[in-house]
Amino acid sequence: MAFIFEEPSHTFGEYLLVPGYSSAECIPDNVSLRTPVVKFRKGEESSIMMNIPLVSAIMQSVSDDKMAIALAREGGISFIYGSQSIEDEAAMVARVKSYKAGFITSDSNIRPDQTLADVLALKEKTGHSTVAVTEDGSPNGKLLGIVTSRDYRVSRMSPDAVVADFMTPLEKLITAPETTTLKAANDIIWDHKLNSLPLVDAEGHLKYMVFRKDYDSHKENTLELLDDQKRYVVGAGINTRDFAERVPALVEAGADVLCIDSSEGFTEWQKITLAFIREKYGDTVKVGAGNVVDADGFRFLAEAGADFVKVGIGGGSICITREQKGIGRGQATALIDVCKARDEYFEETGIYVPVCSDGGLVHDYHMTLALAMGADFLMMGRYFARFDESPTNKVIINGNYMKEYWGEGSNRARNWQRYDMGGAKKLSFEEGVDSYVPYAGSLRDNVRQSLAKVRSTMCNCGVLNIPDLQKNAKLTLISSTSIVEGGAHDVVLRDTKSSR
């Protein structure tokens, strides 16, 4: 007879937090959401820490380079989707790493004999309004001038106008030697009211660009997540089939952390993948694994060398694995079980393996519940798919703006590697749906509002950081009647949408 758990599995919606004593210091501005991403030994700190406990899902409809930049700017990490060619995924990672490094290798360059039409086409392609004019049009060619939007007017100039005739020439530019420090470069930008500063070598070849917007961005986004070279931190998804080729390419591109993207992680395939990475790179390459839903699965992946373990099967809004295969577990119960195993493993070994809760988050308050239940950070798909920065189309459905959103196990994505069981290279049946989610605007505005709720709730619990929330929070199961009581009830709501 099969083993049967005595207690039913529960979802986040079946729990509430019970308030704790809040001191005068418990105000949202004092709350830190800093959290570890990869394993570390007792008494040490994780080599990768996030400033907010949010990562975006390894999905075609969620995580590309644009999403990665936006989320890193807020303090989190995107895991670029792996269900694309190795070259394309590596290129996305590289674009994130080069987007903001303080010293930027120019990717918008043009020759002086090209035209305004070429400038406009380049601006459309890269999104950058500052174009370096070099002798050969290369990133490190001899600098001859700069073209910005102030140098031309499309309505009054011919598309055939030659760049040399309207660019700001070198003799009118302020430049600096390539040995200039970032602090000194920013001081020059500030003193001379510049938007950009080219750094050149002794022969006049362009080496780097330093932009005012990068300085301003850092001052405005105090939680932005940067590596030791001042570049945005980015993750990338891998699978258990082509890891021998994909991992080296992603490492070369600059990925800070990898994650095995799989619907079910308690497999020898993941152990083999982790063993390859450890043998080739030791502990220098950080990689998470999953997904699992119980203590046995966690222990297996922790002992196999995972840097973090992802929890959740079938709880995602577009996932139909439970319907199709009858496997999974309520996300809250799975998370509580795995986090208990995480703590036991830490006591035994002195190694803390962070836990990522993946799926089942419907409302903002579920974020705080998941953290209280032991999650170190949260992976979300539907949440991020709603934003401007997701790679999908914005469409109008029944008069409302929506964003396209599809699962990796849908026929649209056909990410068979994620559901690989060692058989034929195909998707035998769907484990995800193709859908729409309500358009929500910018990532920045929504993430900041969601985390304002998390910080406020943590203050209600009397804690100022995630470890204290995990240690001191009090949770209670609620009845179906309590769920009804928790919303607006026994009143007639005003129609605020009607015309006045």
| The one catalytic residue among 319, 339, 459, 461 | 319
356 is catalytic: no
Residue 230's CB: how many other CB atoms inside 10 A?
A: 14
Residues 393 and 326 sit within 8 Å (Cβ to Cβ): no
Report DSSP letters for 76-122, one per residue: -EEEE--SS-HHHHHHHHHHHHHH--SSBPP--EE-TTSBHHHHHHH
Count of C-beta atoms within a 10 Å radius of residue 146: 23
3-state DSSP of 121-134? HHHHHHCCCCEEEE
- Full DSSP string of 408-447: TTSTTT--GGGG--SS-SS--S-SB-EEEEE--B-HHHHH
**Cα–Cα distance list, 204 to 134, 198, 242 (Å):** 10, 10, 44
How far apart CA 218 and CA 73 sit, in angstroms, is 8
The C-alpha angle 162, 168, 171, rounded to 5 degrees, equals 120
Query: Is residue 477 a contact partner of residue 15, using CB atoms and an 8 Å limit?
Result: yes
Strands (E) in 186-241, as ranges, are 196-200, 206-211, 235-238
Residue 456 tokens read as 């406020």
The two structure tokens encoding residue 163: 């760049």
Classified as helix, coil or strand, 264 is: coil
**Helices and strands (H and E) in the chain: how many:** 16, 24
- In the set 95, 329, 342, 418, the catalytic residue is 418
The one-letter code for the residue type at 368 is T
C-alpha triplet 54, 326, 57: angle, nearest 5°: 20
Q: For residue 348, what is the DSSP state?
A: H
Say how many residues make up the chain: 500
Listed in sequence order, the DSSP H helices in 127-242 are 163-166, 182-191, 212-220
Output the six-digit token pair for 460. Answer: 């209600």
Query: Which residue(s) pair with 434 in the sheet?
Result: 406
Is the Cβ–Cβ distance between 422 and 240 less than 8 Å?
no
Q: How far apart are CA 382 and CA 358, in angstroms?
A: 11
Nearest to 312 by CA among 257, 368, 372, 378: 378
Q: Is 418 a catalytic residue?
A: yes
Just list the catalytic residues. Answer: 319, 418
